[in-house]
Amino acid sequence: MAAAATTGTKRTKVGIDAGVEEDVSVDAPPLLSAPPSLPASGSDAASMLLHISNELFASRTDQREQWGYCTSTLQRHDGAISSLQTHTTQLQQSFMELSKKFDTYLANTRSQGNSSTGGGHSHPTLTRAESADSHLQQTQQADPTVVRVSAKDAVGRDAVLTKINELATEAGIKPTEYELKPKLPVSTNYRLVFCNGDARLGKAVADNFLTSLKINDSTWKPTEITRPRGGGTERLYISKDRTKSDIARQRNSKILFRLLDDTFPNKGFAMARSVVTVDWITVASLSTEDGFTSIKWTNTATTEGINTQDIDTRFAEALSKFNRPPAPLSA
């Protein structure tokens, strides 16, 4: 018996019936180039299975933790959204209630106004100290779009406007960019309103106008106007807008200082805001409780030999010159 082998097939010669030979072919499995690595023993196989099991368990644990974190995050977001919705509803309800109260207030105000004009209770006559215009200026803030133009005595509006037009032209400002108020023929105080009171443009133009009045740090352009009939000139004082309180403080402080300095020229008085001092010691100050219209004296005044009663009387007389009737509210 002889045998021959080929790749993938095994051929064998078999003797049958008195030496007769027949070829029989049988398919053999292909040869493996790299057989799989199997555990050498049963203990190694058990260790491998345990390791794979642990990895699978750890992977599932991480997935469960990630899923729990995502779930808790979504729950917190849902809670925040729900809280916002609740607050939004509450705010809407509060706004509606305030709106109703405001409408009721307006209705009551109109009905009271109608009853007073129709023969009901009348409002008391407004004095200068209690006038609406005075109260408004007392409480409002300074308007950066307004420049004040004033004089010691009453001057004509036309003469003032002519001078303002001249100064504005030199500053490159057009007549359409400002308006002189009030439109009274004669007054001691005027307001120059820029750009219809626009907060941004008006302030910029007002600042430009004031800056143009300075020739240098110590020299200003002349702002005198000529009085009619050859009556000389009147100086115009041009400055930023101020509250009524600021105007009263500055004016009354100057009056007090001049009274003391003229009466006692050798004392060397000094003025700081609404306080008069001598050798850094306070002598007198203006009271803030009544709008800077009364004087508070210290013991130093008596030491310096100041007749405080005489100064009080003359100070009140000087202030009385400024108690002119206020300008109409519509002006």
Of 225, 240, 255, the one marking the end of a domain is 240
In this model, does residue 137 exceed pLDDT 50? no
Residue 312 lies in a domain: yes
- Specify whether 277 is located in the same domain as 234: no
pLDDT band of residue 242 (cuts 50, 70, 90) is confident
In this model, does residue 54 exceed pLDDT 80? no
- Specify whether 310 is located in the same domain as 292: yes
Residue 6 lies in a domain: no
pLDDT confidence of residue 323: 63
**Over residues 137-160, mean pLDDT:** 84
- Specify whether 263 is located in the same domain as 236: no
Lowest mean pLDDT among 175-184, 185-194, 274-283, 320-329: 320-329
| Total of domains in the chain | 3
pLDDT confidence of residue 229: 78
**Over residues 41-70, mean pLDDT:** 70
- Specify whether 223 is located in the same domain as 254: no
What letters, b where the CB count within 10 A reaches 16 and e where it falls short, cover 126-156? eeeeebeebeebeeeeebbbbbbbbbeeebb
pLDDT band of residue 224 (cuts 50, 70, 90) is very high
- Specify whether 154 is located in the same domain as 206: yes
Lowest mean pLDDT among 93-97, 166-170, 193-197: 93-97
301 versus 10: the higher-pLDDT residue is: 301
Pairing of strands 186-194, 281-286: unpaired
pLDDT confidence of residue 47: 74
Say which residues have a Cβ less than 8 Å from residue 295's Cβ, sequence separation at least 6: 256, 284, 285, 286, 287, 308, 311, 312, 315
310 versus 93: the higher-pLDDT residue is: 310
- Specify whether 232 is located in the same domain as 310: no
pLDDT confidence of residue 117: 42
Lowest mean pLDDT among 45-54, 236-245, 305-314: 45-54
pLDDT confidence of residue 48: 73
**Over residues 193-199, mean pLDDT:** 89
| pLDDT tens for each residue of 68-124 | 777 777 777 676 677 766 777 777 777 677 766 776 666 666 555 444 444 444 333
What whole-number distance in Å separates Cα of residue 119 and Cα of residue 40?
Answer: 118
Residue 264 lies in a domain: yes
pLDDT confidence of residue 277: 93
Residue 328 lies in a domain: no
**Over residues 34-49, mean pLDDT:** 60
Of 207, 240, 273, the one marking the end of a domain is 240
In this model, does residue 295 exceed pLDDT 70? yes
- Specify whether 211 is located in the same domain as 166: yes
* pLDDT over 90, % of the chain: 35
Say which residues have a Cβ less than 8 Å from residue 62's Cβ, sequence separation at least 6: none
pLDDT confidence of residue 110: 57
Question: What is the domain extent for residue 154?
Answer: 142-240
Residue 74 lies in a domain: yes
pLDDT band of residue 15 (cuts 50, 70, 90) is very low
pLDDT confidence of residue 98: 72
**Over residues 37-44, mean pLDDT:** 58
Residue 180 lies in a domain: yes
Residue 171 lies in a domain: yes
Query: What phi and psi values does residue 156 have, to the nearest 5 degrees?
Result: -75, 140
What whole-number distance in Å separates Cα of residue 24 and Cα of residue 209?
Answer: 123
149 neighbors 238 (Cβ within 8 angstroms): yes
In this model, does residue 59 exceed pLDDT 90? no
Q: In what order do the strands lie in the sheet with 275-278?
A: 269-272, 275-278, 281-286, 295-297
Residue 111 lies in a domain: no
